[in-house]
Amino acid sequence: MKIIVFGATGGIGKLLLPLLSTGDHQVTRFSRNRFKDHLGQEKLITESGLDFTIIRPGNFFDGPLTNQYLHGRTEDIPKYKLAYKISKADLVDFILKQINSNQYNREVTWISNAK
Please report the domains of the chain, with CATH numbers, ordered by start residue: 2-113 (3.40.50.720)
Instruction: List Cβ neighbours of 90 (8 Å cut-off, separation of 6 or more).
Output: 63, 65, 66, 67, 68, 69, 111, 113
54-104 pLDDT per residue, tens: 888 878 888 899 998 989 987 777 666 777 889 888 988 998 898 888 999
Q: Which band of pLDDT confidence, cut at 50, 70 and 90, is reported for residue 8?
A: low
Range ranked top by mean pLDDT from 2-11, 12-21, 92-101: 92-101
Return d(Cα 54, Cα 3) in angstroms, integer. 8
Q: How far apart are CA 45 and CA 79, in angstroms?
A: 26
Q: What is the pLDDT of residue 82?
A: 74
Q: Does residue 15 carry a pLDDT above 70?
A: no
